[in-house]
């Protein structure tokens, strides 16, 4: 835990133990966004059960056209297959983990919270019904930062440079990505990435 060495410096063992227990208790009580990993094609079932149990959550969906022999139909498909985002305190996690089809909260050795800004940006972008689709996780390429719009502040990799650029945004915690269309004027150079480390 960041800063614990400084916090504990000069304290006796009992004080250190109390400080640690207080910090752990605070983390357990504090609601955060987490990624819930589900069985394949169970995302919508889990979404409904989370609704039923009154747990705040978000299932990122995008619209795609499915073609059958006799017709085409627009359908809503999970943008990040096998993942639903949940907002809860870890002390309440069993309310979500006992839902059929749920496997675990993502993180090793303990569930790792997602950044609020990351979840909010995804929700804002999808609410605008702008072009988006899943994309393989990217680790190399030209990094940029989106300066304005619903994804402002998020970093990504440029795949195509035109008046409108195709940018891939990674969600490092779940190793999933989404490809979006962003105007060239809305992009700027990104700072060097900070290596992701699970808690």
Q: What is the pLDDT of residues 116-144, one digit of tens each?
A: 999 999 999 999 999 999 999 998 889 99
Q: What is the pTM of this model?
A: 0.81
* CA 135 – CA 178 distance, rounded (Å): 5
**Domains in the chain, number:** 2
> If pLDDT is split at 50, 70 and 90, which confidence band does 15 have?
low
With respect to residue 106, please indicate whether it lies within any of the assigned structural domains. yes
Asked whether 59 and 47 are in contact (CB, 8 A), the reply is yes
* CA 64 – CA 72 distance, rounded (Å): 10
* CA 115 – CA 199 distance, rounded (Å): 13
pLDDT digits (tens, 9 = 90+) for 53-112: 999 999 999 998 888 777 888 899 999 999 999 999 999 999 999 999 999 999 998 999
pLDDT digits (tens, 9 = 90+) for 133-188: 999 999 888 999 999 999 999 999 998 777 789 999 999 999 999 999 999 999 99
Parallel/antiparallel/unpaired status of strands 142-146 and 72-78: unpaired
Q: pLDDT higher for 82 or 1?
A: 82
With respect to residue 20, please indicate whether it lies within any of the assigned structural domains. no
Helices (H), the chain: 4-8, 13-29, 43-52, 94-97, 116-127
- From the CB of residue 70, how many other CB atoms can be counted at a distance below 10 Å? 5
* Percent of the chain residues past pLDDT 90, beyond the cut: 67
**Domain carrying residue 151:** 131-192
Does one domain contain both 85 and 156? no
With respect to residue 25, please indicate whether it lies within any of the assigned structural domains. no
């Amino acid at each position: 835990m960041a800063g614990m060495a400084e916090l504990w410096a000069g304290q006796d063992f009992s004080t250190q133990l109390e400080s640690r227990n207080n910090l752990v208790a605070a983390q357990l009580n504090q609601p955060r966004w987490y990624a819930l990993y589900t069985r394949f094609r169970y995302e919508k079932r889990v979404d409904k059960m989370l609704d039923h149990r009154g747990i705040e959550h978000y299932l990122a969906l995008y619209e795609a056209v499915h073609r059958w022999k006799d017709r085409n139909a627009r359908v809503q498909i999970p943008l990040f297959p096998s993942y639903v985002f949940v907002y809860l305190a870890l002390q309440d996690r069993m309310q979500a983990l006992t839902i059929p089809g749920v496997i675990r909260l993502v993180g090793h050795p303990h569930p790792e919270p997602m950044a609020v800004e990351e979840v909010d940006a995804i929700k804002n972008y999808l609410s605008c019904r702008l072009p988006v689709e899943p994309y393989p996780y990217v680790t190399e390429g030209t990094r940029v930062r989106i300066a304005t719009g619903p994804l402002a502040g998020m970093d990504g990799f440029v795949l195509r440079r035109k008046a409108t650029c195709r940018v891939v945004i990674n969600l490092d915690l779940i190793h999933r990505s989404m490809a979006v269309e962003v105007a060239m004027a809305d992009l700027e150079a990104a700072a060097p990435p900070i290596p992701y480390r699970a808690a």
